[in-house]
Structure 1
Amino acid sequence: MADKAFDVIVIGGGPAGSVCAAALADHGHSVAVLERQEFPRFHIGESMLPYMIGLLERLDLLDAVGKQGYVVKRGGEFIDPTGTKFVTPGVYRADFSKQGEGRHSETFQVERAHFDQVLLEKARANGAEVITGASVRDLVMTGDRITGVRYRHEGGEHEISASFVVDASGRAGTIANRFGLRKTTDGLRMVAVFRHYEGLDERHNPGHEGDIQIGSHADGWVWAIPLSGDKVSVGTVMPRAVFREAVKEDVFAEHVARIPRIVQRLSGTRPSTEFRVEADYCYHADEVTGPGWLMAGDAGCFGDPMFSGGTLVAMVTAARAADTITRVLADPGAERALTDEYANFFKTGYDTYVRLIFAFYQSELISAVADASTVVERENLEMYMVRLLGGDFWSEHNPIAQALRANTAWRTFAPFRPVFGCPVYPELDAADRAEVAAARP
C-alpha cells in the first residue's frame, strides 16, 4: 500500500524535473520529486542559449537565476579551419544581438551543480516535496497504467501513488528502460572527454569575453566554456572509433592542441578536476507518453552537446509537460488527445535540434543555408541562423530549419505530426509567421 498519494510524481530533480515540478506546484497540484543524487552534484551541459533567458522569464525564474553572478554569454565562436562545417570559413561568431528585435541577446554560462540546485530549490519553494537520495526501484502498475513508484531512501523501502508520473530522470531513463523504449540514434555515437581548469584570464582570449568556443577538426571538435570566477570547462568530442584507439589523456591534449585559439585562451590555466568521459549519449524513444505517464527532457531524447541546446529543450518540454498534466487532471477524458499533442510537441523540438547536429557532423550546414537563401532575402539569413543557434527549434517558418527538416535521412523519430509555434516567444513567432505569409506571392 502506498505511503502517500500525490497528484504527480516527478522522477528526477535536474532542470527538466525541477521546472516541471515547480510549474505543477504553482498550479496547486501536490507533487513529489524523487532525485537519486544529493545536490549539489556535478553535471555537464554548462553553456546556455539565449532563448533560455526568454524561457526563464516566462517561467518567473529569471530573477532567481540572474542574481547568481553567472558569466554572461553574448555569442558563440565557431572555429572551422576547413571551411566545411560552419557558414563561413575560419572563425564565425554567432552574435546574439542579430536575432531581431524583442529577443534576448544575452544568456549565461553556468556551473550545473549550482544552476540545477537553484532550480530544485525553486520547486521546493513552490510547494513540491523534494526527496534527494531517493533511488527508484520500480514502477507501480494498475493494469497498463502507471499509478505510482517504489523507491529506496535512507535504507528504507517506500511506495507512493499519483494520478500521473513524469519521467525526468535523464540518461537513467526509468520508464524508457522499464518498457524497452530507448533507441540509440544512429550516426551520433560519440565520446566526450572533458575537465575543468582554473586560472582563466580572458585577456588571453582572441575573441569575445564570455563566449563559448567550438573548434572543429578532422576527428571531431573541442569546446571551451568560461565559468564563474576563473574557471573554464574544456572538452573534446570524437567518434567512438577514434576514442577506442587512444588514451584519454593523450587524445584530449592532442585534440585541444589542434585549436590554437582555444590554446591561446587557456594560457596560464591549470587543471582543477580529473578527466570525465561520457559515451554513447545520443538516443531517443518513439513513445514518450503512455497511460498515466510522460517523459520530459533527456529521459526521452538526447542529441549531442555540439550546439548547447540540451538544457533548453529539456526545460521547454518540462514546462509543456506541466501544462499538459494540469489540463489532463482537469479533464481526464481528454488525456489521450492531450498527451498525443504533447508527444508531437516534444518530438518537433528535439527533431529540429538533432537535425542541426547532423548537419554539422555531415558538413551539410552550409548547404542548408544555401537552400534557405532561395526563399529568403540574403540580409535575413544571418538573423535566422543566429535564431536557430540560439534555440529557435519550434518555429515553422525559419527557412534554415525548414531546409534541415527536408532531409529524410536525419529523421530522429518515427513519422509524427509536427506541432510548431515558438514556446519562448509565441507572440513574436506569430507576427513573423504572418509577415512571411503576407510576403508570399
Structure 2
Amino acid sequence: MSEKILESYDAVVIGGGPGGSTTAATIATAGRSVLLLEKTAFPRYQIGESLLPYMAGLLDQMGLLQEFGENGYVPKWGAEFTDAGGNFHQVDFADQGPGRHAQTFQVERAHFDNALLDHARKAGAHVLTQAHVDELLFEGDRIVGVRFRRGGESHEVRAAYVVDSSGRSGKIAKAYGLRRSVDQLRMVAVFRHFTGLDENANPGREGGIQIGNHPDGWFWEIPLWKDTISIGTVMRKDHFQGRDPEEVFDNHRERVPRIAERLKGTEASTRISVEADYCYLSDQLAGPGWFVVGDAGCFVDPIFSGGVFLAMVTGQEAARQILAALQGTTTDQELRESYESFYKTGYDTYFRLIHAFYEFNFNFGAYRAHMPDSINEKDVSLLLAGDFWSQGNAMARLLR
C-alpha cells in the first residue's frame, strides 16, 4: 500500500505482533481502513514459540493454515510433562476427539510474526514499521487518534477506534493505569536458543514440547527448526535473586533427565536472556474509542503456551466489535461489555490453569492425579489445546 498517510482511518492499531496483525487484517478484510503502527523493524526477535492446536483452527479461518504448514515449522502433536525423577506424562492432542485439529506448530517467532504482518498488509491494512506512538489524542473522555513519529517526521491521525496491541509496552493500559501485577506469579525466566539438535536423542515424541519440573521451578524445551531448540528455565524470584543467570540455567538444565538427554550434542547459539516480574492483568479492557488486545492487557506465565493464541483471538474479537460498531449494529456500551466478557473469560480460565499447576509445585503429573475421575483425557487435551471458553469442559468448570 502507498506510504501516503491519511488524516483519518476507521481504526488505528498500535503494535504489529500477532494480536495487532490479526486485528488489522480482520478489519481490512472487511473493506475498512486501518493503520497499523509498529515501533520496531520486522522481522524482530521474540520469545514464545509454541502454538496451541486451537491456533490451527484460527489460522484456518484466516486462510493461512496451508501456507503456514508449508513454512517448515516443526509440527506439534502434544506435550510431555516430566520431572526430576524421570517420570513423565504425555498429553496427546488427538485425545480432543474427531473434528478437532490434532496438530499445530512450534515456530520461530521472528519468522511467524513477520508472516502475520505481511498477511495484514496483503489484506489491505496500511502497515508502518519503525513508527513510534508518542501520544493518544482525546476529545473529552474518548480516544480519537494518535500522534506518532517516523523517519524524523511527526504525524497526527484520527480514528473511530484505537486498538492497543503493543504488548508489555501497553500504551493505553499505562495511560489509564489499568494494570496490576499478579504477586502469586512473581517469576523469573532465563532462556536461550541451542543448535545442533538431533531428535534421535529425544526420549519423547519428535518435535514435541517438553515441560520439566523440579523443586525450584520448571523448564521448557521447544524445537524451532529441525536443528534449533529454545530452552528456558522459570523460577520464583527469591530463588534467582543474587545468582548468576548462566549458573542457574546450567544447573536447572541438568536436573530433569529426559530434558538433559534430548540436549546431548547441542550448543548455545544465543546469549542468555532474562525476564522478571512479567505477570499482570487489567480490570478494564475497552473504553470510549479504544480496545486493549492480548499482552497489552494481560500477560500470564508461558507454561501452557497460550499467549500467542489469546493475543490473536482477542485481536480478532476486538476487530469484530469495531466492525459491528462501524456498521451501527451495536452501541459502544454493548460492544465494550461483550468484548470484556470474552477477553476475561479466556484469560481467567488460563490464569486458573496456571495457578493450579503452581499449587502442585510445577508438577502436572501430580495435578492430573489429583483431578476427580469425572475429568478424562479428552477434557485435559481440549483445555491444553485452547478450549478456554467452553461450558462443556469438565476441567474448565472445575477451575472456574
Measure how far apart 1:175 and its partner are.
Answer: 0.3
Alignment partner of 1:35 is 2:30: no
21, 25, 36: which is aligned to 2:24?
A: 21
Give the counterpart letter for 1:53 in structure 2.
A
Q: Does residue 154 of structure 2 align to residue 157 of structure 1? A: yes
> Within 2, Cα distance between the matches of 1:58 and 1:273?
35
- Post-superposition shift, 1:186? 2.1
Residue equivalent to 1:384: 379
Cα distance in 1 between the residues matched to 2:84 and 2:113: 35
- Residue aligned with 2:183, SS: coil
Q: Which amino acid is the alignment partner of residue 229 of structure 1?
A: K
Distance 1:227 1:367 in 2: 28
1:31-180 matches, within 5 Å, as 31-81=34-84, 90-180=87-177
Residue in 2 that maps onto 1:404 = 399
1 CA distance for matches of 2:101 and 2:309? 14
Map 1:225-236 → 2, pairs under 5 A: 225-236=222-233
The answer for the alignment partner of 1:6 in structure 2 is: 9
Distance 2:255 2:117 in 1: 39
Are the counterparts in 1 of residues 357 and 367 from structure 2 also a CA contact under 8 Å? Answer: no
Alpha-carbon distance in 2 for matches of 1:206, 1:65:
27
Distance across 1 between alignment mates of 2:51 and 2:256: 22
Matched letter for residue 390 of structure 1? A
RMSD: 1.6
1:35-83: CA deviations, max 9, x gaps? 011000000000011111011112222123222110001110101347x
Could you tell me which runs of 5 or more consecutive residues in structure 2 were left unpaired when the two chains were aligned.
none
Deviations 1:335-376 (A, max 9, x none): 111121111100000000011110011118656775542xx3
Q: Which residue in the other structure is 1:347 paired with?
A: 344
Q: Which moved more, 1:222-231 or 1:56-65?
A: 56-65
Q: Determine helix, strand or coil for the equivalent of 2:353.
A: helix
- 1:28 is matched by which residue type in structure 2? G
Unaligned 5+ segments in structure 1 are: 83-88, 406-441
1:308 to 305, 309, 314: 305
User: Contact (CA 8 Å) 1:256, 1:262: kept in 2 or not?
Assistant: yes
2:265 partner letter? G
Contact kept, 8 Å, 1:372 with 1:403, in 2: the verdict is no
SS of corresponding position for 1:191: strand
> 1:299-340, CA deviations, whole angstroms, 9 ceiling, x for partnerless residues?
111111101011111111111111111001111761111121
Greater CA drift, 358-367 or 251-260: 358-367
CA distance in 2, matches of 1:156, 1:218: 53
Q: Is the aligned partner of 1:293 residue 2:293?
A: no
Matched with 1:208 is 205
Structure 2 counterpart of 1:36, one-letter code: K
Deviation string, structure 1 residues 188-235 (Cα, Å, up to 9, x no partner): 111111000100000000111000010001111011111113000000
Q: 2:271 aligns with which of 269, 274, 279?
A: 274
Q: Which of 361, 373, 390 is matched with 1:395 structurally?
A: 390
- Judge conservation of contact 2:280–2:300 (CA < 8 Å) in 1: yes
2:129 corresponds to which letter in structure 1?
Answer: T
Sequence identity percentage = 52
Deviation larger for 227-236 or 364-373 = 364-373
For residue 251 of structure 2, what is the aligned residue in structure 1?
Answer: 254
1:33 counterpart SS class:
strand
CA contact (8 A) 1:3 1:158 kept: no
Q: Secondary structure at the match of 2:246?
A: helix
AA partner of residue 71 (structure 2) = Q
Equivalent residues, number: 393
| 2:134 aligned counterpart, secondary structure | strand
Residue type of the alignment partner of 1:394: W
Deviation string for 1:271-325 (max 9, x for gaps)? 1111111111101110000000011111111111101011111111111111111
Counterpart contact for 1:145–1:291, Cα < 8 Å? yes
Greater relative contact order structure (CA < 8 Å, 6+ sep): 2
- Residue 245 of structure 1 and its aligned partner are, at CA, apart by 3.0
Q: Report how far residue 4 of structure 1 moved.
A: 1.5
Q: Is the 8 A contact 1:77 1:94 kept in 2?
A: yes
1:337 aligns with 2:334: yes
Distance in 2, matches of 1:63 and 1:23, equals 18
Would the alpha carbon gap of residues 171 and 398 (structure 1) be closer, same or farther in structure 2, given more than 3 Å must change?
same
SS in 2 for 1:227: strand
Amino acid aligned to 1:400: M
Distance 1:51 1:80 in 2: 27
